[in-house]
Structure 1
Amino acid sequence: MTTADLITSLLQQAVGLQQQGHFGQAEDLYLKVLHAQPDNFDAMHLLGVIARQTGRPALALELVSRAIGINPLQANAHCNLGAALQDLDRPLDALACYDEAIRLQQGYAVALNNRGNTLRRLSRHEEALASYRQAIEARPSYAEAHNNLGAVLHTLRRHDEALLSYQRALQWNPAFADALNNLGITLHALHDFDSALASYDRVLQLQPGRADAWCNRGMALQKLRHFQHAVSSYDRALNIDARFAGAHLGRANSLRSLERNEEAVAGYLQAMECGADAEQVNYALAALGVVAAPAASPGAYVRELFDQYAGHFDSHLQQNLQYRTPALLMDLLRPHLPAAALDIVDLGCGTGLCGALLKAYAGRLDGVDISPAMLEQAKQKKCYDSLACVDIGEFLRRCECRYGLAVAADVFVYIGDLSDTFAAAGKVLKEGGLFAFSVEESEQEDIVLRASRRFAHSPAYLQKTAEAHGFVIDEMAREVIRQDNGADVHGCLVVMHRL
């Protein structure tokens, strides 16, 4: 056998072993080839691929770079170099490698898909979408690219489009567990919790050891109010990964809903020990009376809550919770409004339920909310002259406008101590300017953080806080403002003016 025949035979054996996952044996054969022929591109390149497959990205970078030095015109080597750079957290360098691979081989689907992954990591989402679509155009059956396209669409909250992408991925690969899991996540975001649950169950039939799917399943069960089953699902996740902070947190939330508060407290503490956000965990503990309540709800908690809720906010509030605050507040406010149009700011405007009622009285109407997803919904109502995505406290402190009316409907349930808010509101209102708002009513304590994680305030507290900051209460009404699990929630509606 000639040397050339021997090298060909060794390479064929090595490739077969590598494809079967026998990396050590394949590596030995590639090294034999390189001993006989040090400038063999295939052996050097595939040795680098093995290094990456076995978790050695720095060595992969060195070996694939040497292979490119032998033959710089091989697109697949540039693509694999990009993958190693991506593993080493060098996304811009990886991007340049993928671009070179695509230059050498037009329509190179794998490089286009990997390029999309890098762009997504850089939060260049529109460019990532374009790259994934090019990969799919080059290879319509590329299930991974369909799945990745769906992931970016989900990030952009284009959930209906994401759903179609995952479904296309599954048409080409019905056993694609990642796509099934992502499908469940998007169905969850669309509030189709039963279908999400079915999708997670399909994932777990294929890969029963996936802690993330068990955790996702628990979250769907929680939304369906099957709290005990949710706890069991979280337990399965924690049996696989005992330090899964999200599973500890979800389990604690379900235990709280079951009123198993001591167990819930232990769960929250475990979640924090495993890396869950300390501010949000302490907030949950405060709602259970374990630690002192903060001055306000954590901003990240409020933003995440309403970003998830935005697409179904109006229908859920009005149909499920019998939410009446905007209409009730307007009924209370209307007799106090002057004949002339006012400049109005809607603090915590959400999807614009109040804005639609305020527009008729506004010369200018500005909306402020911490949730970008809620503001997207508000924008569609076309009743605001401007919308600002910012915490209302920060907005009030920085605002240079002077308004005739400020409104805060169902906002102060996320703020305990109202002193700073009232003081800041006084600075943005004209003399005699009106401030209309709602609170959940506390019948005894000035401020109480309830188990619902919503603050309630007493009428006496509102009276003294208003007076301390230069306001006079014109009218206060006690009303049922919504329902919670079928029970009436009483609130106070207030109209006051600045001296």
Structure 2
Amino acid sequence: MSSSSAPEITTMLQQAVTLHQQGQLQAAGDLYQQVLTRQPDHFDALQLLGVIARQGGDAPSALKYLNAAIAVNPAQAIAHCNLGATLQDLGRSAEALASYDRALQLNPAYLLALNNRGNVLRSLGRLEESLQNYQHALQLKPDYAEALLNRGISLQAMDQHEAALADFDAAMQLKKNNIDACFARAVSLQHLQYVEEAIQDYDDVIHQQPHHAEAWCNRGICLQKLQHYEEALTSYGNALKIRPVYAKAQQQLGRVLQLLARDDEAIAAYGQALAQGADAEQINYALATLGKVAAPVASPAAYVTELFDQYAGHFDQHLLTVLDYQVPVLLVAALERQGPPQRSNSLDLGCGTGLCARFLRPWSTRLTGVDLSARMLEKARQTELYDDLHQMEIAAFLQQSSQHYDVIVAADVFVYIGDLHAVFAGVKKALCKGALFGFSCEVSSTADYLLQPSHRYAHSLPYLQALADAHDFVLLEASQAYARQDKGEKIRINIIVMQRK
């Protein structure tokens, strides 16, 4: 490069940067290319062409230019950070992490690299580590809105929604009309069952960005919970207009149509959801509740896990204050009438958040809980009433358990299992002779077991008696009661106590 061309290159580069900042990417890119024509190893032109390529969605070109820039000057943290972002776009998380690490070795106070490194760790499920990066960035710059937003999203993924809301609120204070923070805030409000407030936030997102399909879909779910079914249909319809291939919205649409007794339309929506990639087991389960396919022997494990993972944060309050849930009290009273041992090794099948634990603990020298939902088990762990907690399907747990129990209970668990033979075989194996097995189930007056439109199974008393006979149990007590409310109707259940022969 001649000395006379250096001022020309500097002027050209300044013009290109100005155009770049104005969003005129094509014009800026042409000028960066002209710089490279005069000086092929110009670091800034190479690095900024990589940025433009990434902004334009051309990841391979971005990688080419950024790697060339790093070859020219490997000591520039900005190029490593931009390379990390490009690798992140491509899903090459481990390589992206290494690029951010190099950027931070060169500049430990590089805020963008800290924030982006946190995002990669979050994508890898390393949530605690992601928090450390956001917190480091916020120590350096407390008003860093992006780090507040991303820390909130990691806290949200850890089911710490109250803490997440504080971060989303702070991010929105710093950056007005922050759509991402407003949407994330709505998601946490929805998880906490503040559905009216969540709808307000989704409305704010939609006002700013009418084509936000996720906001329309989640708004529909909130309206569905409030039993505003027609409004929910409109929200799902808008989501599907924006994104015609959207399995989640199609599946939710099917559920609302089913609740409105528009069964043919529900079947069509479920079919569309299946064609668009929805979980086939869950769709067939929904179709079974409409009588279109044979009912499975149990609810899909993924359905139960997802249902209760979402429900964990407000499970106890909703059951006890909204649904007037009585099963633990009724079941324990029935067991006490049959005289359970005062010092027992007790097992709580499908323990959930531990609603039965406070009744079982006074009897128990040892209390074990089993459930499919990790988030439910975390709530159970917080009660400090269990000696052991296991995340497993209950029949599998019973078959592999080496323990022998004096009392086994299953409160409101068999509503997710139709055929109970495997469970009874497992209980027989795990229960001491003469010991008690107490459980509840919804009442079927027709079939042995029946999958209801509520997506819950009911069982007949003759079927339960047949199970007792087949698996060496004596039926000590069978009483009917109302366990809870569902959409204003009282749900009738059987409370059963059996004794192992």
TM-score, with length taken from structure 1 = 0.98
Counterpart for residue 106 of structure 1: 108
Q: Which amino acid aligns with 1:313?
A: F
CA–CA separation in structure 2 for the residues paired with 1:321 and 1:26: 62
CA–CA separation in structure 1 for the residues paired with 2:383 and 2:95: 44
Query: What is the 5 A alignment of 1:306-325?
Result: 306-325=308-327
Q: Which amino acid aligns with 2:336?
A: R
1:108–1:138 CA contact under 8 A, matched in 2? no
Counterpart for residue 451 of structure 1: 453
Q: Which amino acid aligns with 2:462?
A: A
Which of 387, 390, 394 is 1:388 aligned to?
A: 390
Q: Which amino acid aligns with 2:390?
A: A
1:255–1:261 CA contact under 8 A, matched in 2? yes
Residues 259-313 of structure 1 deviation map (CA, whole Å, 9 limit, x = unaligned): 2121111111111111111111111111111111101001111111111111221
Counterpart for residue 227 of structure 2: 225
What's the offset of the Cα at 1:338?
A: 4.4
CA–CA separation in structure 2 for the residues paired with 1:381 and 1:83: 42
SS in 2 for 1:141: coil
Which of 3, 15, 18 is 1:16 aligned to?
A: 18
Q: Which amino acid aligns with 2:116?
A: N
Residues 342-361 of structure 1 deviation map (CA, whole Å, 9 limit, x = unaligned): 11100001111111101111
CA–CA separation in structure 1 for the residues paired with 2:341 and 2:118: 56
Query: What is the 5 A alignment of 1:62-101?
Result: 62-101=64-103
CA–CA separation in structure 1 for the residues paired with 2:353 and 2:110: 43
Q: Which amino acid aligns with 1:282?
A: N
SS in 2 for 1:497: strand
Q: Which runs of 5+ in 2 are unaligned?
A: none
Q: Which amino acid aligns with 2:32?
A: Y
What's the offset of the Cα at 1:167?
A: 0.6
Which of 167, 170, 178 is 1:165 aligned to?
A: 167
CA–CA separation in structure 2 for the residues paired with 1:289 and 1:254: 17
Between 275-284 and 14-23, the greater mean CA deviation after superposition = 14-23
Counterpart for residue 298 of structure 1: 300
Q: Which amino acid aligns with 2:475?
A: I
Counterpart for residue 344 of structure 1: 346
CA–CA separation in structure 2 for the residues paired with 1:194 and 1:22: 42
Which of 370, 374, 377 is 1:375 aligned to?
A: 377
What's the offset of the Cα at 1:142?
A: 2.0
CA–CA separation in structure 2 for the residues paired with 1:430 and 1:420: 18
2:340–2:407 CA contact under 8 A, matched in 1? no
Counterpart for residue 132 of structure 1: 134
SS in 2 for 1:174: coil
SS in 2 for 1:438: strand
2:100–2:117 CA contact under 8 A, matched in 1? yes
Query: What is the 5 A alignment of 1:56-67?
Result: 56-67=58-69
2:352–2:371 CA contact under 8 A, matched in 1? yes
CA–CA separation in structure 2 for the residues paired with 1:339 and 1:23: 77
CA–CA separation in structure 1 for the residues paired with 2:68 and 2:431: 69
SS in 1 for 2:356: helix
1:14–1:27 CA contact under 8 A, matched in 2? yes
Query: What is the 5 A alignment of 1:146-165?
Result: 146-165=148-167
The alignment's C-alpha RMSD in Å is 1.3
Residues 22-55 of structure 1 deviation map (CA, whole Å, 9 limit, x = unaligned): 2222222111111111111111111111111111
2:29–2:49 CA contact under 8 A, matched in 1? yes
Between 186-195 and 306-315, the greater mean CA deviation after superposition = 306-315
CA–CA separation in structure 2 for the residues paired with 1:240 and 1:340: 61
CA–CA separation in structure 1 for the residues paired with 2:73 and 2:99: 15
What's the offset of the Cα at 1:486?
A: 1.5
CA–CA separation in structure 1 for the residues paired with 2:169 and 2:175: 10
What's the offset of the Cα at 1:339?
A: 4.5
1:478–1:492 CA contact under 8 A, matched in 2? yes
Same amino acid, percent of matched pairs: 49
Between 134-143 and 148-157, the greater mean CA deviation after superposition = 134-143
CA–CA separation in structure 1 for the residues paired with 2:60 and 2:140: 31
What's the offset of the Cα at 1:16?
A: 2.0
CA–CA separation in structure 1 for the residues paired with 2:425 and 2:126: 40
Which of 190, 193, 218 is 2:192 aligned to?
A: 190
CA–CA separation in structure 2 for the residues paired with 1:339 and 1:189: 40
What's the offset of the Cα at 1:12?
A: 1.5
CA–CA separation in structure 2 for the residues paired with 1:452 and 1:478: 20
Counterpart for residue 244 of structure 1: 246
1:58–1:88 CA contact under 8 A, matched in 2? no
CA–CA separation in structure 2 for the residues paired with 1:139 and 1:4: 37
Counterpart for residue 410 of structure 1: 412
SS in 2 for 1:353: coil
Q: Which amino acid aligns with 2:17?
A: V
CA–CA separation in structure 1 for the residues paired with 2:4 and 2:64: 30
2:121–2:127 CA contact under 8 A, matched in 1? yes
Counterpart for residue 258 of structure 2: 256
Q: Which amino acid aligns with 1:413?
A: V
What's the offset of the Cα at 1:109?
A: 0.6
Counterpart for residue 33 of structure 2: 31
1:150–1:161 CA contact under 8 A, matched in 2? yes
CA–CA separation in structure 2 for the residues paired with 1:112 and 1:340: 56
Between 425-434 and 333-342, the greater mean CA deviation after superposition = 333-342
SS in 1 for 2:80: helix
Counterpart for residue 420 of structure 1: 422
What's the offset of the Cα at 1:85?
A: 1.6
SS in 2 for 1:407: strand
Residues 241-272 of structure 1 deviation map (CA, whole Å, 9 limit, x = unaligned): 10011111111111122221211111111111
Q: Which amino acid aligns with 2:397?
A: F
CA–CA separation in structure 2 for the residues paired with 1:339 and 1:309: 33
TM-score, with length taken from structure 2 = 0.97
Which of 286, 300, 315 is 1:284 aligned to?
A: 286
CA–CA separation in structure 2 for the residues paired with 1:378 and 1:327: 18
What's the offset of the Cα at 1:211?
A: 0.8
Residues 102-143 of structure 1 deviation map (CA, whole Å, 9 limit, x = unaligned): 121221110000000111111111110010111222222322
SS in 2 for 1:316: helix
CA–CA separation in structure 2 for the residues paired with 1:259 and 1:241: 26
- What is the number of equivalent residue pairs in this alignment? 499
1:83–1:114 CA contact under 8 A, matched in 2? yes
Q: Which amino acid aligns with 2:204?
A: R
Which of 206, 209, 216 is 2:208 aligned to?
A: 206
Residues 300-341 of structure 1 deviation map (CA, whole Å, 9 limit, x = unaligned): 111111111112211211221111111111111112224541
2:340–2:436 CA contact under 8 A, matched in 1? no
What's the offset of the Cα at 1:475?
A: 1.2
CA–CA separation in structure 2 for the residues paired with 1:420 and 1:428: 12
Residues 340-388 of structure 1 deviation map (CA, whole Å, 9 limit, x = unaligned): 4111100001111111101111121111111111112212222211111
